[in-house]
Amino acid sequence: MTTTFKRSSFLFLVLSLVFFTTSCSSDDNGDAVNNDDNSNTHEVEYKITVEDPVIDIIEYKDATGAMVEVSESLEGVTTWSKTVELEEGAAIDTKVTMDLGELTSGACPYVMQIFVDGELKNTVSDTAFMSMYIELAYTE
């Protein structure tokens, strides 16, 4: 009977150690993941709104820091936005070219905005005449 009791006690001790080791190890991994979530990146949204569909070319800084030209068709587009993750301190920049040649009025109101982590950081609002090239940037 004492042998059975010793085996049961030993088994209980081993299982307790395994459980304790596993649970502590799991806590350590959780902390490491949470530290990664606190990295120094920002969610940046570029947004362009025009009264008439006159956007010809849009370029923006992507996650690598390179200027990227929008590849999808901009025909008929009056509102465009793109959200990217950028490292803290990265240059935040967007450029747009508008061609108003086909508008009878020859003028088109526009708004360009940059949001960082949901907060408006820079905006320009004006009226474009004929063809225009507009650049909007934000630096922390």
Condensed to tens digits (0 to 9), the pLDDT of residues 8-27 reads: 555 444 445 445 555 554 44
The Cα–Cα gap between 119 and 121 comes to: 6
Residues 90 and 22 reside in one and the same domain: no
Tell me if 63 sits within 8 A of 86, measured CB to CB: yes
Condensed to tens digits (0 to 9), the pLDDT of residues 80-118 reads: 999 999 988 888 988 988 877 667 677 889 999 999 999
* DSSP structural state of residue 69: E
Residues 90 and 71 reside in one and the same domain: yes
Confidence (pLDDT) at 74: 92
Residues 15 and 65 reside in one and the same domain: no
* Structural domain boundaries, residue 13: 1-38
Confidence (pLDDT) at 13: 46
> For residue 68, what is the domain's CATH number?
2.60.40
Nearest to 65, CA basis, from 43, 93, 38, 41: 93
Tell me if 60 sits within 8 A of 86, measured CB to CB: no
Residues 33 and 66 reside in one and the same domain: no
* DSSP structural state of residue 38: T
What percentage of the chain has pLDDT greater than the value 70? 70
